Amino acid sequence: MDQIQKVEQEILELRQKLREKEDELYALKLNYHSSQSAQAHNGDESQITEETTIKQWTLPKWAIERYSRQILLREIGVAGQARICAAKVLIVGAGGLGCPAAMYLAGAGVGEIGIVDYDTVEISNIHRQLLHREIDTDVNKAESAARAIRSINSHIKVTPYKVQLDSTNAIQIASKYDVVLDCTDNAPTRYLLSDLCVLAKLPLISGSALKLEGQLTVYCYRADLHSVDKSSTYRGPCYRCVFSVPPSPDALGSCSQHGVAPPVPGVIGTLQATEALKFIIGHPSRNLLVERMLIMDVDDMSCKVVQLRPRNPMCAICSDTPTITQLIDYEVFCKTQAKEKELDLKILPPMNRITAVELQTLLLSKSTLLLDVRSAAEFDMCNIDGADNWPIDYVDRRLEELLKKTEENDGAVVFICRRGNDSQIAAKMLLDKLPEAHRHKVKDMEGGLHAWAKYVDKDFPVY
């Protein structure tokens, strides 16, 4: 065991050394490119700086050689590439959507990319978040993604923001950029980004991916700030125009809860990068997904574009008479947390909650009924011996059967799930219908199977 720990420690030190060397190489390349540009113009008054030439729609030698295949497109050309090189894009979320979006924006030569993510890389991320590698486990995602895209293109500036975006820092961060990509998967951040982009007058390219489905649209478009439509007063809807009321917290889903096929966020994230590039090079609103939403289902390979509601003239934030004039507390507004991993519902009284160690003791009794409310796919991956699978989606419709089982059972009826949140919801459904004499039997295991793996069975898979 000591030898294993020693080798693991040596690997950690080597990984850190590798990261430091990669950062050093990036800095050297950046300095080299800057010095080469300066030398090319020193002592020749007829030459002008690279920044000025880009503004005049000419490109330096390295840019022509590097981006020639896209410059050949008449939709891009030299002028479009110059705009791309001068553009600044903020990507919020370095996960399944953010990784492919960042990769293609870096490859296309976007001059500056900001990446926001508070989370760290886990091994369960890597099947779809392909900028991260196994050696990046436990590294901040924004930092890991930044390092990876610097290796794709050392000519661009990449800034990682290792924070959770919220009302206190969003304006300060976003004000430095031209376009924002929403690559997140929770309601509070979606409303935050939409309100932010309305206030900062930035377009918001919003993507989502879950299970086998993906969606993509563009919010907060303003023609008066776009290079092609400047003479128009047209404005597209914001997120609030389409979804004025946040969904119920128990109706929300995420990849970690319901799963996702790896290529789905890959496709949607790539299309987010495409919409960003189209906006940057000057495509008009009719060519962008403004007031329209792309919906993709890879199960039957169907893809359609549906019409969305136009901008709401009475919208709380983007109307001419807004009632919201600054960013608010979006977790309070949505009644849910932006950080899924830190979600810790407390909807049951203490008498109906037990620890993992207490459950271990209860399972010694044959009268204990253990109900696992995860999906069948999750249950098949791993489960506690003796547990019955009662997916939460079916608890409500089988409530009468569950009431009867509980009343007839002599021992405890314990609900479990992955983290101890869904199990409380299921337990409460039962408690609300159960006669008082039997309510003491109903229990929920705090912390879910993560707690079971931590305190009882070290070999139990954590996902």
Cα separation, 300 vs 378, in Å, equals 23
Of 163, 159, 157, 29, whose CA–CA distance to 85 is shortest?
157
Q: What's the Cα-to-Cα distance from 155 to each of 26, 27, 115, 340, rounded to whole Å? A: 9, 10, 17, 35
Decide: 186 and 268 in contact? Cβ < 8 Å.
Answer: no
Which one from 85, 183, 238, 417 is the annotated catalytic residue?
Answer: 417
CB atoms within 10 A of CB 113: 26
- Which residues 6+ apart lie within 8 Å of 119 measured at CB? 94, 95, 140, 141, 341
Per DSSP, helices labelled H in 61-109 are: 61-71, 77-86, 98-108
Burial class (CB in 10 A: 0-12, 13-18, 19+), 31: exposed
- Enumerate the β-bridge partners of residue 418: none
User: In the 8-state DSSP scheme, what is residue 286?
Assistant: G
144 CB-side CA count, 13 A: 27
Can 220 be counted among the known catalytic residues? Answer: no
Cα separation, 375 vs 357, in Å, equals 24
Of 137, 139, 140, 142, whose CA–CA distance to 126 is shortest?
137
Cα separation, 395 vs 399, in Å, equals 6
Which one from 99, 220, 255, 315 is the annotated catalytic residue?
Answer: 255
Decide: 414 and 383 in contact? Cβ < 8 Å.
Answer: no
Q: By three-state DSSP, how is residue 398 classified?
A: coil
377 CB-side CA count, 13 A: 7
CB atoms within 10 A of CB 56: 9
Cα separation, 284 vs 413, in Å, equals 60
**Tokens in use for 222?**
């303003």
Decide: 278 and 105 in contact? Cβ < 8 Å.
Answer: no
CB atoms within 10 A of CB 261: 19
Decide: 264 and 213 in contact? Cβ < 8 Å.
Answer: yes
- Enumerate the β-bridge partners of residue 290: 218
Which residues are designated catalytic?
Answer: 255, 417
